[in-house]
Structure 1
Amino acid sequence: MHIGSLLSRHARTRPDHLAVVFQDQRLTWRQLHQRVNRLANALLGIGIQKGDKIATLLPNTLELLDIYWAAARIGAVVVPLSPLLRGRGITSLLNDSDTDLVFTHRAFVEHLDPVRAELPAMKPDRYVLVDAQGVPGYRSYGELTTGASDREPPYIPLSGEDPYNIIYSSGTTGLPKGIVHTHAIRAAYCTIFASEWRMTPESVVMHAGSIVFNGSFLTLMPWMYLGATYVLLDHFDPELALRAFQQERVTHTYMVPSQIIAMMGLPGFTAQNLPALQMLGTVGAPFHKEHREALTRRVPGVFTELYGLTEGFMTVLDKEQYARKPTSVGAPPAFFEMRIVGENGKDLPPGEVGEIVGRGPMLMPGYYKRPDLTAQAIVDGWLHTGDMGYADEDGFLYLVDRMKDLIISGGVNVYPRDIEEIIVQHPAVKEAAVFGVPDEKWGETPLATVLLRQPGAVTAEELRQWVNSRVEARYQQVREVVIRDEFPRNTAGKTLKRVMRDEYWKSRGEKI
């Protein structure tokens, strides 16, 4: 069982059905199949083999879709990276993933060129630009694929246990954690989520965010499995998305909360203007109660929420369950199991808060090259999420706190320690603590609190600018720096970030 066979099936059985809409391009399943075949044959022609790693540093493009499905066909492993990465954020992940080939675009050349010397395993001819030619040191996508056959590539034996991609949970200065997904795992995304979302081959799926993040696979895989229609926006803009909803008669989409909030700011975002919409899902950040209620007033009967980890455990709050469980994040899908455990590892009764652990058919085989981290995360076949919550009598999950100190900003995982390591490099800083605070646009955003070595050595604004000029990705930039005289700590000396977060909002007279 492997997902590389799906595209060929649709090209045979529904060749003229609309497969992809991107900007002004509309591709049938036959046309998409031909594009992907050309790339697959071109990759084989330059020596890419089963198991080789193909990294992408790309915005949303048709070529990125081609890469995903060409890799699936020939057994290569896709490593989709955020185009917001900079400096060591690039080199650490390309080196850690053992990348053999990079696809990128012209806007990223200025960031990739300075670090190419730090990528000794990369061959000079393995850098490909999808949107330009004649750039020294880069092969163009056209040069790569011109002359390649659009017929089926040679047969390559694949199984469900073969890896399909590596998704990095942290793409910055900390220890990288590459989450491996096999063909069988992505096949489970195909079947289980197609069922959960009530999708059919006649569905029209839209994706407005970046498709390099795992949340995009929630609808990307069911689309391919069913042979439906996929509307891909090159970027998120609420008015652009609303037009796509209406013109393409979109039936299913997943967005991060900040995007839904932006959509709700449009007067035209109403049930009357969205007659085809059947599901509007949210993932990647907390979606607060007031926003849930506002959405269901504007467009009733479509709200769905997924809580989950890329490592492979999920719960789903179905649109038909929302009225009964409005503050829940749902229950595990079919074939998944969930437990709430206490500090001693024993199961807790309904209503008691503990760690969420789970297992199911999407569970990763492990972190790439990190058996030590894998052993910490998966114990006796159960994924320990590090998130705290409780289950009710019906098995529905209620989140209490996010995973450890993880900040989720606009659907992107931001790790406070990575930012803290930058801050303490400033000579005036003694200690630093970073945590997330609510943000209307992004869901959460980082805020830094610091202890100085000498009072007055640096101002908060000077330090904020210093930090934000040095972090390796834009989503790590701190909203504000707060200089404190001391940190609240527990009896063991551990800094209490939650206390500081509460104090921050109380000092401003705002709702926590």
Structure 2
Amino acid sequence: MTLPGHGMTMSDLVARHARLRPDAAALVDARARRTYGELDGRVRRAAAVLAAHGVRAGDRVAVLGLNGIEVVECWLAALRLGAIVVPVNFRLVAREIAYVLRDSGARAVIADPALAPAVAEARGSAPSVSYALTLGGDYEAALAAAPEAGLERGAREARDEDPAFIMYTSGTTGAPKGAVLTHRNLLLHAFSSMATQGTTQPYEVSMSTAPLFHIAGLSTLLPPLLVGGTNVIPPSGGFDPAATVRTLVDEGVTSCFMIPAQWQAVCALPELGGHDLTRLRRISWGAAPAATPLLETMIRTFPQADVCSAFGQTECSPVTTLLRGPDALRKIGSVGTPLLNVEVRVVDDEMNDVPRGEVGEIVYRSPMVMKEYWNRPEETAEAFRGGWFHSGDLVRQDEEGYFYVLDRKKDMIISGGENIYCAEVENALLAHPKVAEAAVVGVPDPKWGETPLAVIVPRDPAEPPAAAEIETFSRAHLAAYKRPRHVRIVDALPRNPGGKVMKAQLRDRYAT
């Protein structure tokens, strides 16, 4: 059990920097800027508002907001009370929001004005919610009315093992599950990622295009908060590569995280070479696979920056392996080696270690791995069977210890007894000059059980590749059993808010 004086939270970090460097920029978005002193004062007031409406340690506070400073303020306020933050995907409809509110047992919900009607409808079937606050006018009025004295009434020191966030998984294979991440999980992840990458300076200016409800949005905020750096929060909505580059330049961003599709759009900008991006020392990607041609383009486009790939999952806070800049070319296509404080094995279905070079499931032990799935003891036990956390990712490890992701275990295609790893086929297809994006799924086949189907987004919609062209190209790059037997051309691949292709939709759509 953690002794008094041993706990630390994200909110404690802000309070510390408010004392040491109150005028330093903490958060920047399209509408406002907050110094550490300003941020801490608003967090204290927001905590007082929540406490006045009955929020206590251990209560869950759901936050549904478009990307912006206020969302982070609400997180920090809840944590200052010892409450648990539940970020909610702002793209959900009322029925889906109600599920998260019920499952988490949220006591309070804070929402963006655009989402308030859906939240009001959702509350009809979420009886645990006793208080709702709308960002904007209501929120600002509540903060302004908060008392000057006793602004942290109801606060208590958090213990390291206490839950800090419940992050709901995408639910592609069933109802979403809440991964419970503790204060220790998240702070050790920040320490470990900083130590691995060497980012320990307060002049760090970080930007992530991930939505704040996504684990990538949360985890990229923490290292700058730890050292008193600055977090730049881009707006939600359609991704604008030109506006993103202007923000990188105007804010002097030193480290930037985006999903591969966004990096591809940035690298394709004709005017990119006219911008001074010399302060950008680290660019990273994750949340979805990146093709080798894109990585080569990123390395050429940003020669002054380390190109890092981050791999992991929500339950691991999230990064488990990292391919650092010096290895970006030498080990292109790899997701790197384990982060500090992450122990891994590659195992078969019986938990036997597989030899290096062979395919198996990567499993983890780490102080960054979640505490549990919220109120799901059986699924928690299954995830931790054998004393290791099971990722569901199929990988191989080379002779130097670098990992290569081949597929999700549930997405692997078995055709005529042969295992086909979709990522391998997709990477081959992406080398075709007419292919911009590709997703491969298994579809039923009367002879082989299932066969690969390729769903392709063309580089030029006016000149898509013909099925015969893909067949000819595949013959030169893939073994016969791996070649797509069917090809479908689409305008865009279905993706979840984290940028991952929703293959279940593709399998359903093309099952016949």
Q: TM-score, normalised by structure 2?
A: 0.78
Match of 1:292 among 283, 289, 295: 295
Please name the residue that 1:423 is paired with: none
Distance in 2, Cα, partners of 1:403 & 1:310:
17
Please name the residue that 1:73 is paired with: 80
Q: Residues 360-375 of structure 1: matches in 2 within 5 Å?
A: 360-375=366-381
Amino acid at match of 1:182: T
- Structure 1 position 10, deviation (Å): 0.2
- Structure 1 position 403, deviation (Å): 4.6
Please name the residue that 2:445 is paired with: 488
Distance in 1, Cα, partners of 2:439 & 2:61:
31
Question: Secondary structure of 1:273's match?
Answer: coil
Amino acid at match of 2:132: Y
Please name the residue that 2:71 is paired with: 64
- Structure 1 position 26, deviation (Å): 2.0
Residue 354 and residue 182 in structure 1: after superposition, are their counterparts in 2 closer, same or farther (change >3 A)?
Answer: same
**Residue 325 in structure 1 maps to residue 331 in structure 2:** yes
- Structure 1 position 209, deviation (Å): 2.8
Please name the residue that 2:144 is paired with: 146
Deviations, residues 9-42 of structure 1 (Å, cap 9, x unaligned): 1001111111121124222111111111110111
Amino acid at match of 2:445: P
Question: Secondary structure of 2:354's match?
Answer: coil
Please name the residue that 1:306 is paired with: 310
Please name the residue that 1:167 is paired with: 167
Question: Secondary structure of 2:38's match?
Answer: helix
Amino acid at match of 1:101: A
Please name the residue that 1:283 is paired with: 286
- Structure 1 position 78, deviation (Å): 0.7
- Structure 1 position 57, deviation (Å): 1.6
Please name the residue that 2:353 is paired with: 347
Distance in 2, Cα, partners of 1:186 & 1:442:
35
Match of 1:131 among 133, 136, 142: 136
Amino acid at match of 2:311: Y
**Residue 96 in structure 1 maps to residue 103 in structure 2:** yes
Question: Secondary structure of 1:191's match?
Answer: helix
- Structure 1 position 99, deviation (Å): 0.9
RMSD: 2.9
Distance in 2, Cα, partners of 1:488 & 1:210:
39
- Structure 1 position 180, deviation (Å): 0.3
Please name the residue that 2:226 is paired with: 225
Distance in 1, Cα, partners of 2:456 & 2:84:
46
Distance in 2, Cα, partners of 1:295 & 1:141:
41
Distance in 1, Cα, partners of 2:158 & 2:410:
37
Amino acid at match of 2:135: V
Task: Extract unaligned runs of 5+ from structure 1.
Answer: 133-139, 407-434, 450-486
Please name the residue that 2:495 is paired with: none
Question: Secondary structure of 2:179's match?
Answer: strand
Amino acid at match of 2:342: F
Is the deviation greater in 268-277 or in 174-183? 268-277
Distance in 2, Cα, partners of 1:389 & 1:113:
44
- Structure 1 position 320, deviation (Å): 1.6
- Structure 1 position 445, deviation (Å): 7.0
Check conservation: 1:194, 1:222, Cα contact below 8 A.
yes
Equivalenced residues, count = 434
Amino acid at match of 2:401: G
Amino acid at match of 1:206: M
- Structure 1 position 357, deviation (Å): 1.0
**Residue 194 in structure 1 maps to residue 194 in structure 2:** yes
Distance in 1, Cα, partners of 2:215 & 2:447:
36
- Structure 1 position 306, deviation (Å): 0.7
Residue 506 and residue 180 in structure 1: after superposition, are their counterparts in 2 closer, same or farther (change >3 A)?
Answer: farther
Deviations, residues 243-268 of structure 1 (Å, cap 9, x unaligned): 11111110011111111111112134
Distance in 2, Cα, partners of 1:84 & 1:292:
30
**Residue 254 in structure 1 maps to residue 261 in structure 2:** no
Amino acid at match of 1:341: V
Distance in 1, Cα, partners of 2:132 & 2:26:
29
Amino acid at match of 1:165: F
Residue 211 and residue 375 in structure 1: after superposition, are their counterparts in 2 closer, same or farther (change >3 A)?
Answer: same
Distance in 1, Cα, partners of 2:178 & 2:274:
40
Task: Extract unaligned runs of 5+ from structure 2.
Answer: 1-6, 413-421, 458-464, 474-483, 485-512
Question: Secondary structure of 1:380's match?
Answer: helix
Distance in 2, Cα, partners of 1:216 & 1:38:
24
Amino acid at match of 1:147: A
Please name the residue that 2:503 is paired with: none
Please name the residue that 1:11 is paired with: 18
Question: Secondary structure of 1:72's match?
Answer: helix
Please name the residue that 1:49 is paired with: 56
Check conservation: 2:196, 2:340, Cα contact below 8 A.
no
Check conservation: 2:438, 2:455, Cα contact below 8 A.
no
Question: Secondary structure of 1:348's match?
Answer: coil
Q: Residues 384-403 of structure 1: matches in 2 within 5 Å?
A: 384-403=390-409
Q: TM-score, normalised by structure 1?
A: 0.78
Question: Secondary structure of 2:211's match?
Answer: coil
Deviations, residues 296-347 of structure 1 (Å, cap 9, x unaligned): 0111242100110111161100112212211210110112111111233211
Deviations, residues 49-87 of structure 1 (Å, cap 9, x unaligned): 001111112111221010111122111111101111114
Match of 2:388 among 373, 382, 395: 382
**Residue 40 in structure 1 maps to residue 47 in structure 2:** yes
Is the deviation greater in 10-19 or in 81-90? 81-90
Amino acid at match of 1:162: D
Residue 283 and residue 339 in structure 1: after superposition, are their counterparts in 2 closer, same or farther (change >3 A)?
Answer: same
